[in-house]
Amino acid sequence: MRKLVAFEQLTLDGYAASAEGMGLEWTFRAYSEELAAYVDDHVRADFDTAVYGRRTYLLMSEYWSTQPTPESTEHDRAHAEWVNKVDKIVCSTTLETADWNNTRLVSGDLAQEFTRLKEESGETIAIFGSPKLVHSCIELGLIDEFRVIVHPVTVGAGTRLFPDNFATDLDLLESTSFATGAVYLRYQVR
């Protein structure tokens, strides 16, 4: 059976998105070549389906569908190649189309859709960012694992990774720290 993983960038005070700008500008300080390579080679090595909520999908598709460019770094070229080829799902009740390569729109019952996907053959299904979608999946009991990069920053407001009043037990599967102060944590839902 396939796993559904929430892959998140997280502030030390628990926010997956700030209340300003795109919501992820705070990640730039601790994101390094070392961390990017670790994510590519290790964290997302088993991902074969990328899932986004509406807002994250619009931001990601707008940027990555036009990549790489002549100015792209080697890492950005490799990531662009991966993200433009991988199967993608956007979960939204307001979007009417999803035109990015290999993307399909899911606007119905999340529990039914992800239960069916998890029963299909394949590797890991990963929600990228999209904290409100993660909240819905947590509340439906769909998340099997959290892969989180904690950044050495606090933002004080925004969207938290976990919905209010949610409690669960997690088992730590691995952890790695980076020179920039970021820490990668991989937890399995008990």
Helix (H) or strand (E) holding 127: strand 124-128
**DSSP alpha helices (H): ranges in the chain?**
33-38, 54-64, 74-85, 110-119, 131-139
Q: Does domain 4-189 have CATH number 3.40.430.10?
A: yes
Cα distance between residue 177 and residue 167, in whole Å = 26
Q: Which residues pair with 175 in a beta bridge?
A: 185
Cα distance between residue 134 and residue 17, in whole Å = 12
Token digits of residue 145:
């694992």
What pLDDT digit, counting tens, does each position of 75-120 carry? 888 888 999 999 999 999 999 999 999 999 999 899 999 999 999 9
What pLDDT digit, counting tens, does each position of 25-82 carry? 888 889 898 999 999 999 999 999 999 999 999 999 998 888 888 898 888 888 889 9
- 160, 152, 185: which is closest to 170 by C-alpha? 185
- 36, 128, 129, 41: which is closest to 75 by C-alpha? 36
Report pTM.
0.94
Instruction: Judge whether 8 and 134 are in contact, CB under 8 Å.
Output: yes
On the question of pLDDT at 10 being above 90, the answer is yes
On the question of pLDDT at 20 being above 90, the answer is no
Instruction: Judge whether 71 and 64 are in contact, CB under 8 Å.
Output: no
Q: Exposed, middle or buried: residue 52 (CB in 10 Å: 0-12, 13-18, 19+)?
A: buried
Cα distance between residue 36 and residue 72, in whole Å = 14
